[in-house]
Amino acid sequence: MKPRWKGKGSQAKANADPMSKIVSQLQSSLIQSETRGLLSSCSVLVEVDAELADLLNRSCFGRPRITAQEDKQWFQLDMEEAFYLCFSLKCLKVIGEDGYIKSNEELWDYLKSKKPVFPVSYKVYSHLRHKNWVVRSGLQYGVDFVAYCHHPVLVHSEYAVLVLSEGDNDLNGRLRVWSDVHCTVRLCGSVAKTLLTVIVNSNNQGANSPSCLEHYTVEEQTITRWNPERSREDQTGPKNGTKKV
């Protein structure tokens, strides 16, 4: 499925300003300003100035939160976003409720305690982010993430992502029965997204520390409906623009 850009010029704009570069700028800026996030339940809150706020918005990390302060802006990061900045990009440090900076291992344990599927969920998030996809929460679409090939302002999201795990450790519990497969595929179709399942195999590595992540393997599969009438070889009708059912 090709990306659907939102209006003329969006594609050119995106090409001129690749996401990899924006994320790289964010990374440098966070390191330079020695930004500290505050751990708060299942989120990490960061206080940023206008320049960092702009970079967070353009790279699609976190959501701005309205506060009484006028000169500073606060952003709320999801678990996966925060851990990506800390562990993968190494540009953020997180302070726990006790006031101390949490090591990556401590942060890992904490996030796992809040969300048992966190290791698998994080593997998928980071896998897609590394490939320069913008990854956001997909909950309102009944999936785990939605993936955009650039900023949501410029392009519609192409993929609705479900995080699945191989083997007995299937904590996520989606797509185990046919009714769920039909439900999800139908909903994805109605919002013009392709269902992408990213299946993580822990290879019996367990999930004791973030270093186990590099031994996880990932398999991507898309699930779409196949319509025999549209797949005939002798089809002479228009193919472009046909809504994929």
Catalytic residue set? 148, 156, 193
Minimum Å distance from CB 224 to its own copies? 15
What x/- string results for residues 172 through 201 when contact with its own copies is judged by CB under 8 A? xxx-xxxxx-xxx-xx--x-----------
> Taking a C-beta distance cutoff of 8 angstroms, is the pair 218, 183 a contact?
no
CA 185 to CA 195: how far, in whole Å?
6
**Candidate list 15, 140, 204, 231; residue touching its own copies; CB under 8 A:** 140
In sign, the C-alpha dihedral spanning 145, 149, 150, 155 is negative
> Taking a C-beta distance cutoff of 8 angstroms, is the pair 61, 44 a contact?
no
| Pairing outcome for strands 159-165 and 93-95 | unpaired
Work out whether 143 is an interface residue with its own copies (CB under 8 A).
Answer: yes
Minimum Å distance from CB 105 to its own copies? 27
Work out whether 162 is an interface residue with its own copies (CB under 8 A).
Answer: yes
Beta strands in 6-127 (DSSP E): 36-40, 43-48, 63-65, 73-77, 93-95, 101-102
Minimum Å distance from CB 217 to its own copies? 23
Work out whether 144 is an interface residue with its own copies (CB under 8 A).
Answer: yes
Q: 201 to 240, contacts with its own copies by CB under 8 A?
A: none
Q: Which is nearer to its own copies, 183 or 212 (CB)?
A: 183
Name the CA radius of gyration of the chain, rounded.
20
**Candidate list 1, 50, 101, 139; residue touching its own copies; CB under 8 A:** 139
Which of the ranges 29-37, 140-148, 215-223, 230-238 carries the binding residues for its own copies, by CB under 8 A? 140-148
Q: What angle do CA 115, 66, 157 make, to 5 degrees?
A: 60
Going by C-alpha positions, the residue among 193, 90, 98 that lies closest to residue 141 is: 193
Minimum Å distance from CB 34 to its own copies? 36
Q: Which residues bind its own copies (CB under 8 A)?
A: 138-144, 162, 172-174, 176-180, 182-184, 186-187, 190
